[in-house]
Amino acid sequence: MVAPGAPPPRGTASATAARRWRWAFLGVAGLVALELAVGAGVAFELPLLIHHVAFGPGHRRQITQFERLAIAPGDVVFLGDSITEAVQWHELFPAISARNRGIGGDTVEEIESRLDPIVRGHPRKLFLMAGTNDVRMRIPVEHSLAAYERMLDRIRRESPETLVFVEGVLPRSERYAPRIRTFNERLRAVATRHGATWLDWFDAFADERGVIRPAYSNDDLHLLGPGIELWTRLLAPYVTAPTG
């Protein structure tokens, strides 16, 4: 019998799980220490490595599911990261065939890597919001925008009937504000050049410091109910407008 508060016996499942978490934590801590020791040379690559370790298995599970859920020509697709993933699009817009293709943690390049089933389905509209994870991981903006360029070019070539709407990155905490503004400014030029409709909600969600308002988020990133309500209201004219 194990005394209350004592660690589980070494052979139990809970002890095995605890050891796995401990090794995972030590591994990530070691990578962070390495980044601090080496300096700026790994300021971009190391966060990506940590990102892939943390999100890899779940990312693969969702990709393999989406590969089996076909997109149809009448669909409206919402493509992005965890901000998109968390929204119940089919309930907010019950009059349309809404498809949620958000995956938490995705960078722009990761979203590009799972574009195949969407392009093959030739959806009626595509709403794309990506980049907040790139900003967080300090991925060079040129790298992120190059992935955007490739995505928009491919959609225009392989699914020209799809109306594409590119949404700017939403505000986060104050330290991210300058980077997000720069990212959005450059992304706007990319979207316009490729014939996509540019939608920028930054000012609608931000306070005077460029910080997402606490009424809209409780973690400076993901949206609370009022934030989702605002986003839905801003999107509605574009989502529900008939196409030719």
Average pLDDT score over residue span 198-207: 98
* pLDDT score recorded for residue 38: 41
User: For the chain, give me the number of helices (H) and strands (E)?
Assistant: 11, 5
More confident residue, 25 or 236: 236
Q: How far apart are CA 78 and CA 126, in angstroms?
A: 6
Residue 201 has φ and ψ, to the nearest 5°, of -105, 10
Is the model's pLDDT at 3 over the cut of 60? no
Average pLDDT score over residue span 74-80: 98
* pLDDT score recorded for residue 8: 46
* pLDDT score recorded for residue 114: 93
- Parallel, antiparallel or unpaired: strands 98-102 and 125-129: unpaired
Sign of the alpha-carbon torsion through 223, 225, 231, 235? positive
* pLDDT score recorded for residue 40: 42
* Token pair of 120 as six digits: 């093959």
Question: 50: helix, coil or strand?
Answer: helix
Q: How far apart are CA 92 and CA 70, in angstroms?
A: 21
Could you tell me the CA-to-CA distances from 162 to 23, 120, 134 in Å, in that order?
Answer: 46, 11, 26
Q: Among the listed ranges 10-19, 63-72, 179-188, 216-225, which one has the minimum average pLDDT value?
A: 10-19
DSSP 212: B
* Token pair of 238 as six digits: 């574009």
Looking at 3.30.70.20, 3.40.50.300, 3.40.1010.20, 3.40.50.1110, the CATH number of the domain 71-240 comes to 3.40.50.1110
Average pLDDT score over residue span 96-124: 96
* pLDDT score recorded for residue 171: 98
Confidence of residue 44 (pLDDT cuts 50, 70, 90): low
Is the model's pLDDT at 54 over the cut of 90? no
- Parallel, antiparallel or unpaired: strands 76-80 and 98-102: parallel
Question: 113: helix, coil or strand?
Answer: helix
Answer whether 0.75 is exceeded by the pTM: yes
Annotated domain spans of the chain: 15-68, 71-240
* pLDDT score recorded for residue 173: 98
* pLDDT score recorded for residue 244: 59
